[in-house]
């Protein structure tokens, strides 16, 4: 068994030698440069053919090529700069809107592309292979706000609020977590009280909100906020409602922008504060007390695209370690000729392909208008996010001291 495993590791490592990383270079900063650029430059070249599990239709294939070009030409050049500065790249976000990426799962009637969960995974995989922080802000906008509203809003609400969100004119997010209500989301304390005229007064706060701010002092534009509307006598799952809240409303303010995060630093995270925020009756999404099913249905696609981010991170890490191990020489041979390095590369490749296959199999079976898909949407997030972290760690191990440097992309 040991000999067979070792032979298989060698075979996988040898087969990866044909990965897109052409010219040999001397060790040092040139190797770092190649390790960092390999994934972003050659994404479309290595894409599975049209009709495969990963590109099931001509539309999916075209979308992946569009995203690959966007990443290569516009996302990759800015990634390190904006992450180091903890700045949100607003022009790049608007550019994603111009390309039609912000409403990928939204009906064209409201400015979207009208595609499916697999398409959403393609975008998240490609973006996160270059800039996971920008991708996280993209996720909060395109899935937690845009897709959520597209699935749960009325025709009037979608017509009023989706076009600007799909174009990139407005930046959106979603408020669910609170300081004392994270996983225990139904324990939230933010509350909305209905008034005699049918309007609502919103009070409370939300924490860890992606896109909650676009700078240290500015809120984002639009949010879907979950709040309790039922009393203590009402079952928790029947006591939560969903509201549309926008910047400029009286009593709505930025509590603080949360900085110095361990990672995802170019994706702004914030605390939102609501003090007697008046909301028109028309800002209630769905029925009073009916938001739990909206929440759970949208969490399913959120988990799937988070898994896609793990796949993108793993792919970039695998390509970086493979390029470095090919170019870096020790004891008169490439690092990739040593068994320990071959094992890191081979195990990473096998886990990456297993995760990617699980991801697209799950996405292709996901109906965005339906709820009750918890088993595999939970399972694929559990596997792929852990897998992405493990492959990134192996990239750091393969690249040694260089792997610990920000330029290489492993730590990032």
Q: How far apart are CA 169 and CA 274, in angstroms?
A: 24
Contact 301, 120 (CB under 8 A): yes
CA 124, CA 105: separation in Å to the nearest integer?
13
* 122 CB-side CA count, 13 A: 31
- On whether the CB atoms of residues 126 and 71 are closer than 8 A, the answer is yes
CA of 186: how far to CAs of 179, 263, 275, 377, 378, in Å?
13, 28, 21, 20, 19
Q: Of 269, 276, 253, 272, which Cα lies nearest the Cα of 188?
A: 272
Compute CA 232 distance to the chain's CA centroid, rounded to the nearest angstrom. 35
Q: Which backbone phi and psi does 130 adopt, to 5 degrees?
A: -115, -50
Three-class DSSP category at 17: helix
For residues 292 and 227, is the Cβ–Cβ distance under 8 A? no
Geometric angle at alpha carbon 390, from 385 and 395, rounded to 5°: 125
Here the tokens at position 109 are 């009637």
Q: Which of 302, 319, 351, 412 is catalytic?
A: 302
Rg (CA), the chain: 22
Other CB atoms closer than 10 Å to residue 330's CB: what's the count? Answer: 12
Q: How far apart are the first and last CA of the chain?
A: 36
Q: Is 156 a catalytic residue?
A: no
Tell me the longest C-alpha to C-alpha distance in the chain: 82
Nearest to 54, CA basis, from 126, 1, 113: 126
Give me the phi and psi of 270, to 5 degrees please: -150, 165
Tokens 């025709």 sit on residue: 155
The two three-digit tokens of residue 81, written as one number: 């700069």
Vertex 410 angle, CA 407 and 412, to 5°: 70
> Which positions are catalytic?
302
């Amino acid at each position: 068994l040991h000999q067979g495993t070792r032979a298989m590791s060698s075979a996988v490592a040898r087969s990866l030698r044909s990965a897109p990383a052409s010219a040999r270079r001397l060790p040092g900063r040139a190797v770092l440069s190649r390790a960092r650029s390999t994934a972003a430059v050659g994404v479309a070249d290595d894409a599975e053919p049209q009709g495969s599990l990963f590109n099931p239709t001509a539309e999916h294939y075209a979308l992946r090529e569009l995203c690959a070009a966007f990443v290569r030409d516009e996302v990759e050049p800015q990634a390190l700069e904006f992450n180091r500065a903890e700045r949100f790249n607003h022009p790049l976000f608007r550019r994603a809107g111009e390309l039609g990426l912000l409403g990928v799962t939204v009906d064209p009637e409201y400015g979207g592309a009208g595609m499916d969960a697999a398409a959403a995974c393609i975008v998240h995989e490609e973006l996160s292979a270059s800039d996971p922080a920008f991708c996280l802000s993209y996720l909060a906008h395109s899935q937690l706000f845009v897709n959520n509203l597209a699935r749960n809003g009325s025709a009037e609400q979608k017509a009023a609020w989706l076009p600007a969100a799909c174009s990139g004119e407005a930046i959106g997010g979603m408020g669910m977590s609170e300081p004392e209500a994270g996983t225990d989301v139904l324990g939230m304390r933010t509350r909305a009280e209905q008034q005699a005229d049918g309007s609502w007064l919103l009070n409370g706060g939300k924490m860890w909100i992606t896109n909650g701010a676009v700078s240290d002092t500015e809120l984002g534009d639009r949010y879907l906020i979950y709040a309790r509307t039922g009393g203590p006598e009402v079952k928790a799952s029947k006591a939560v409602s969903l509201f549309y809240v926008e910047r400029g409303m009286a009593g709505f303010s930025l509590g603080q922008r949360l900085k110095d995060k361990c990672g995802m630093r170019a994706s702004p995270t914030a605390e939102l504060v609501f003090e007697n925020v008046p909301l028109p009756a028309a800002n209630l999404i769905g029925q009073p007390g009916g938001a739990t099913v909206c929440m759970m249905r949208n969490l399913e696609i959120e988990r799937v695209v988070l898994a896609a981010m793990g796949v993108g991170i793993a792919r970039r890490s695998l390509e970086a370690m493979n390029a470095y191990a090919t170019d870096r020489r020790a004891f008169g041979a490439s690092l990739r000729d040593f068994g320990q390095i071959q094992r890191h590369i081979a195990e990473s490749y096998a886990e990456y392909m297993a995760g990617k296959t699980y991801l697209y199999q799950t996405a292709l079976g996901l109906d965005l208008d339906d709820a009750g898909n918890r088993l595999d949407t939970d399972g694929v997030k559990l596997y792929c996010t852990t897998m992405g972290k493990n492959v990134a760690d192996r990239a750091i191990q393969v690249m040694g001291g260089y792997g610990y440097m920000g330029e290489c992309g492993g730590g990032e």
